[in-house]
A and B are shown apart, each in its own frame.
Chain A
C-alpha cells in the first residue's frame, strides 16, 4: 500500500540521499544502514577527501601497486566493467581531464570560484588499459598519467549497495536514491515504487511531470543541465567524452534508463549522453528502456519505456 510508505532525505556525497521503506516502522533501521554505506563509499571513492583511498591511489600513479580496501576494489572493478561494456564510452580514467577542466573540488565550492577568469585545460583520456587490478593481492596499479574518477559509477554502486544493506536491516521493501540514482530491493509496494522523472533530481516529487514505477533493479538519469560551471566565456558540464577528453557534445538534456541495477542504468544513461545522436539505436540494441529528452524538449523513447501520461 502506497499509504504505508515512509521516507527521509539528507545531504550526502555532495547530493541528496533518500531512503523509502514499505514499512514505516523500519525507516530508522534503513536510514542507519544507508548512512553506514555512504560513509564507507565516501571514504573509499571520493576525489575530494585527502584521506580517501582513491586520492591515495591516484597519487601513486606510475609507481608500484597500492593495496586497497574491498569497497574501492569493487568500485574500480565496476568502473572497468562499465568501460568494457560500453567500448570505453564510460571510462574511469577521465579524472585528469576533468580536474584540469575545473572539476577539481567539491561541486558546491566550484561555484565560489571566479569562473570568468578561469581557463579550462584538457588532457587525453588514457583509457582503462592503464588500470591494473590484482584481486588476489587486493592491489591496484595505475600507469603514469592515469587519474581515476569514479563519478560515473560509484554513486550508482552506492545506491545498489545501500538498497541491499537497507533491505537487510529493515526487512521490508526499500528504495534508495542518491541524487536521482535509484535502486530498489525487496518486495515492492503494490503498483511498484513511483518515481518522478525530471531534469533535476532536486525537483520535488510533488511537482507535475511524468512518473513511472519500477518493481526491481534501478533507474538512473544522466544530464548536462545541472552540474555545470563557468570557464571563461563558456560553460562546461561534468560528463566527459573519453574520445575527446572534453565535455560531451550532446543533443540530450537528460537520459533516463531503467536497468537490472542502478549501476547498469547509470552506465547506459551516461553512455547515451556521450554517444549523442547514436544513443537511441545503441539503447535499442541493448533492449534498454530509456527516455531521452533533447535540448528542445522533444522526448525519444526506447525499449519498453512507457509513453508519458497525457
Chain B
C-alpha cells in the first residue's frame, strides 16, 4: 500500500488560500465597521437632517444666502471616523439632494403655480 504524502506545493497553496480567506474576512468586517461609522457621522454632519420638531412650529423667512451651497462635508475626511467603535445601525441610505433652482433674470418660458 502506498503511503499518502501530500505534495509540498499543494500544502503551500492551501496555506496561502487560508491566509487569503482570513484576510478577506477581516477586510469585510473592517469595511462594515468603517462604513457604519462613516454613515453614522454623515447622519450627524448635516444639521438639516436633524431639524428639531420645535422648528416646525416656527417657520420663518430664511436669511439671505448664496444660491449655491458648498457640498456637504465628506465625513470620510475626518479623523474621528477611524475610531473602531461598534458600528451603529446604518441610517437610511442618503439620498442625493435635488438640483436647486437659481435666480434668473431671463424671461420665463412657463409659470409654475397651483392648478
A202 partner residues in chain B, CB cutoff 8 A: 111, 113
A278 partner residues in chain B, CB cutoff 8 A: 53, 56-57
A277 partner residues in chain B, CB cutoff 8 A: 56-57, 59
Query: Chain B 77-103, CB within 8 Å of chain A: the 1/0 string?
Result: 000000000000000000111111111
Contact B67–A177 (Cβ < 8 Å): no
Contact A180–B101 (Cβ < 8 Å): no
Given A5-B109, A180-B114, A280-B59, A303-B102 contact (CB < 8 Å):
no
Taking residues whose C-beta sits less than 8 angstroms from the other chain, chain A's interface range is 35 or more
Q: Is A86 positioned at the interface, with any CB of B under 8 Å from its CB?
A: no
Q: Is A229 positioned at the interface, with any CB of B under 8 Å from its CB?
A: no
Contact B108–A205 (Cβ < 8 Å): yes
Q: Give the CA-CA distance A202 to B64 in the complex, in Å.
A: 29
Most buried by A among B51, B57, B103: B103
Could you tell me which residues of chain A, from 204 to 221, have a CB within 8 Å of some CB in chain B? 204-206, 210-217, 219-221
Q: Give the CA-CA distance A200 to B113 in the complex, in Å.
A: 4
A–B pairs, 5, beta carbons within 8 Å: A181-B112, A197-B113, A205-B111, A227-B115, A287-B98
Contact A175–B111 (Cβ < 8 Å): no
Q: Give the CA-CA distance A288 to B51 in the complex, in Å.
A: 13
Q: Is A7 positioned at the interface, with any CB of B under 8 Å from its CB?
A: yes
B87: min CB distance to chain A, Å? 23
Q: Give the CA-CA distance A228 to B85 in the complex, in Å.
A: 56
Q: Give the CA-CA distance A214 to B103 in the complex, in Å.
A: 9
Q: Is B10 positioned at the interface, with any CB of A under 8 Å from its CB?
A: no
Contact B62–A300 (Cβ < 8 Å): yes
Q: Give the CA-CA distance A212 to B108 in the complex, in Å.
A: 8
A192 partner residues in chain B, CB cutoff 8 A: 101-102, 104
Given A20-B109, A219-B101, A201-B115 contact (CB < 8 Å):
yes
A18 partner residues in chain B, CB cutoff 8 A: 109-110
B111: min CB distance to chain A, Å? 4
Given A281-B56, A285-B48, A7-B115 contact (CB < 8 Å):
no
Q: Is A15 positioned at the interface, with any CB of B under 8 Å from its CB?
A: yes
B residues with CB within 8 A of A: 48-53, 55-57, 59-62, 64-65, 67-69, 95-115
Contact B59–A306 (Cβ < 8 Å): no
B65 partner residues in chain A, CB cutoff 8 A: 306-307
Most buried by B among A175, A181, A198: A198
B67 partner residues in chain A, CB cutoff 8 A: 304, 306
Contact B114–A304 (Cβ < 8 Å): no
Contact partner of A259 among B53, B98, B102, B110, CB < 8 A? B98
B109 partner residues in chain A, CB cutoff 8 A: 5, 7, 18, 20, 175, 193-195, 205
Closest to B103 in A: A306
Contact partner of A223 among B48, B52, B99, B114, CB < 8 A? B114
Closest to A201 in B: B113
Most buried by B among A216, A278, A303, A304: A304
Contact B98–A180 (Cβ < 8 Å): no
Q: Give the CA-CA distance A202 to B107 in the complex, in Å.
A: 16
Could you tell me which residues of chain A, from 169 to 191, have a CB within 8 Å of some CB in chain B? 175, 177, 179-182, 191
Q: Is A72 positioned at the interface, with any CB of B under 8 Å from its CB?
A: no
Q: Give the CA-CA distance A103 to B52 in the complex, in Å.
A: 37
Contact B98–A265 (Cβ < 8 Å): yes
Given A300-B62, A304-B69, A287-B95 contact (CB < 8 Å):
yes
A24: min CB distance to chain B, Å? 13
Closest to A205 in B: B108
Contact A198–B113 (Cβ < 8 Å): yes
Q: Give the CA-CA distance A203 to B112 in the complex, in Å.
A: 9
Contact A205–B107 (Cβ < 8 Å): yes
Most buried by B among A203, A305, A308: A305
